[in-house]
Amino acid sequence: MTAMPNTVDRATFQAELDKLRTREKAHTRESDAIAAARRRLPMVEMDPTTPLVGPNGPTTLLDAFEGRKQLIVYYFMWYPGRPAPEQCEGCTWNNTQVTELSYVHSRDITYAVFCQGPYEESARYHQFMDWKMPWYSARDSLDTLLAGRQINLMHLICYVRDGDRVFETYWTNYRGVEAVDFNYTLMDLTVYGRQEPWEDSPAGWPQGVVDGTRVDGRPTAQWSRLAAGRSDDLGNTGGEPPAARSTGCCH
């Protein structure tokens, strides 16, 4: 049997929860303070003409703003020439959760994905997954856009523009990209958490989920697309062997 918490009366339960709530509220206030510090960071100017490839062909970093003041970019890991089941499970997990963009649009913010692979095959993946967010290839501009950061690693980068001038204001990677992930946030509220081996959990708690972003050899969200009859043919073959893949998609 799976281990369970101790059973107590309602008053005892509420007393323990109240103690935890004090810590939760302190965490919320600290998160607000960190966000305030983030808003006070300096920024670095970018070349607004940095080339991208989008659905209508060559375009630029400035164009990716879609006329809005701010831009949030998810840098999607990509393995050129590999089939859909071998593409990044972490990036797939994260971006499957990005559905309704009207809320960020209402604050004059565009959310877009800059794939780190070629446009044609990655755009087929975007279509297969039935994602609606803007999708570009940044493959030929990664040295400029990621400037000293690891290529083919998931990144979230924020930009602001002043007319035709573009500035980078913030970036994060690894678990920082959980900003777009509500599933882990919900799991963290439950008694068993994410059920992953690294978590600090009581003895007997289930922790057997080693790769929770894949099921039966595919990124988890691909299965519902296949069941709906969508094609996962990316029009590619060969490419980088799986053994040579980076592990940078891990949370």
Q: Render pLDDT for 208-225 as a digit per residue (tens, 0 to 9).
A: 998 889 999 999 999 999
Tell me the β-bridge partners of 52: 59
Q: Take residue 154 and report the two structure tokens written for it.
A: 């998931």
How do the domains of the chain map onto residue ranges? 44-182+211-244
The arrangement of secondary structure in 44-182+211-244, i.e. its CATH architecture, is: 3-Layer(aba) Sandwich (3.40)
Q: Give the separation between CA 207 and CA 93, rounded to whole angstroms.
A: 20
Beta strands in 205-247 (DSSP E): 214-215, 218-219
* Chain segment 109-155, per-residue pLDDT in tens: 999 999 999 999 999 999 999 999 999 999 999 999 999 999 999 99
